Amino acid sequence: MATLMIQGTTSDAGKSTVVAALCRALARRGISVAPFKPQNMALNSAVTEDGGEIGRSTALQAQAAGVKPHSDMNPVLLKPESDRGSQVILRGKVYGYMDAMDYHAFKRTAKESVMAAWQAMETRFDVIIAEGAGSPAEINLRKGDIANMGFAEAADCPVILVGDIERGGVFAQLVGTLALLSESEQARMKGFVINRFRGDMSLLTPGIEWLTAHTGKPVLGTLPYLQGLLLDAEDSIGLTHAPTQGESLNVVVPALPRISNHTDFDPLRLHPQVNLTFVGADEPIPAADVIILPGSKSTASDLAWLKRQGWDRAIQRHLRYGGKVLGICGGFQMLGEWVEDPDGLESKAERVMGLGLLSLTTRMVAGKQLRNVSGVTVAEGASVTGYEIHNGVSEGAALGQPLFDLGTHLDGAVSDDGQVMGTYLHGLFDHSEACQALLARLGLSGAQRLDYRAHRERELDRLADTLEAHLDIEALIALLGAGASPSR
């Protein structure tokens, strides 16, 4: 087994896309490959084949590699619940809540889980492409590090450093990061990748020549900026989207402080008939056809934020004028009459009043629901697939009119007038049939069918094609050695 680690000079330097592209490129060569992220901090997550939970970007990388996501691929997942603490997921399962100082002390135990997961992976795959988190040069986080060089040193693997030229100062990023590493870590760094370059490559040549001479490390490639790339993001919400043709549906989504799984909206961003707008704190709430309340890692606190921002009044006005409202997971819980948390699993408030738009009450209980599901929309019989990741059990009369039939159980609720609906199902717009049916129900007559799954596959191939054209992939394969030979 061979492992190569991709680290970045900053968060969002492009590590995730480079790992996805490498996984797809190696898989197309017949190499048994899988992604690995020792530690991730993100509120976008996915359910694995073994019933665990990992970061959404790692699940996308598994798809790029042509393998099913497994909890070993992201053994430590931190899901922030406040500015000072997070829910800690170890090898797919909830371990508990920790503030920053508690987690810092916990890193030795976390490292044992990381190395055990990596060793389990090496028995199943020939090549592991590991991804760092943030920057390896965060001096205050170096002690006990398991996310970047701490893992690379323990696994004894080579490292490639990615810098984002679009942000400016890419040479300072690369040189400065290298300078802040220890001698052994510098030796482990085998080269650089410059990401998101626009313009004439010849203008960059003098800088690349200087960088190579100054550091003794090669630039293994300069990857161009890919216009319109839309793939599952690790955390950043990204840009809004305007429709490109025909009749359109105006959708607004509050950007909750603890918004989770906002990748639910990627198919709507892509849809040519949907105008999707995220509305942040203290921004005016625009008129819309549909308001969608997204998932939340902290339902009670995000519900309080909604009310402070005036969304409760805006939603009531929106409904009076015939608008539609959809709640997903935490957003679904907010639509009910009460959210109860007697054991303080998500908040200090034992009971908070919901928006009162659906006759149901949600009670937070120990044990997170994690499952991949499939079924149909109750009204249209349109096929749907998705996944559930939530605390809380909802009960009430509103559940008598479900939105989905998932075979093993009914899911969601629809109000008597059809204006308000909710579901625990993430990924509900990914399936073309369900997306078309739901958009029609939300008010888009003549909704076009969008195959988001096919789009995701095309984007992964575009990434891999770009990597093959602009990166010295043979040099990377040489770093991997005998492990990177096609499986027999």
Alpha helices in 38-138 (DSSP H): 56-65, 100-122
Do β-strands 404-405 and 2-8 pair in parallel, antiparallel, or remain unpaired? unpaired
Beta bridge partners of residue 414, listed in sequence order: 421
Structure tokens, 139: 């001096």
In terms of Cβ atoms closer than 10 Å to its own Cβ (0-12, 13-18, 19+), residue 440 is middle
Do β-strands 53-55 and 45-47 pair in parallel, antiparallel, or remain unpaired? antiparallel
Alpha helices in 141-240 (DSSP H): 149-155, 170-179, 183-188, 205-215
Structure tokens, 328: 């997903």
What does the alpha-carbon distance between residue 93 and residue 151 come to, in Å, rounded to a whole number?
21
Catalytic residue among 70, 329, 390, 431: 329
What does the alpha-carbon distance between residue 136 and residue 184 come to, in Å, rounded to a whole number?
13
Structure tokens, 81: 């619940």
Report whether 184 contacts 147 (CB < 8 A).
Answer: no
Catalytic-residue membership of 329 = yes
What does the alpha-carbon distance between residue 214 and residue 354 come to, in Å, rounded to a whole number?
60
Cα–Cα distances in angstroms (integers) from residue 280 to residues 112, 234, 257, 289, in the given order: 39, 19, 9, 18
Side-chain half-sphere CA neighbours of 115 within 13 A: 16
What does the alpha-carbon distance between residue 44 and residue 65 come to, in Å, rounded to a whole number?
20
What does the alpha-carbon distance between residue 58 and residue 63 come to, in Å, rounded to a whole number?
9
Nearest to 294, CA basis, from 323, 259, 338: 259
Catalytic residue among 157, 426, 431, 435: 426
Catalytic-residue membership of 318 = no
What does the alpha-carbon distance between residue 387 and residue 411 come to, in Å, rounded to a whole number?
12
The length of the chain in residues reads 488
Report whether 376 contacts 384 (CB < 8 A).
Answer: yes
Following DSSP, what letter does each residue of 329-372 receive, concatenated? THHHHHTSSEEE-TT-SS-S-SEEE---SSS-EEE--SS-EEEE
DSSP 380: T
What does the alpha-carbon distance between residue 355 and residue 179 come to, in Å, rounded to a whole number?
53
What does the alpha-carbon distance between residue 466 and residue 300 come to, in Å, rounded to a whole number?
44
Active site residues: 329, 426
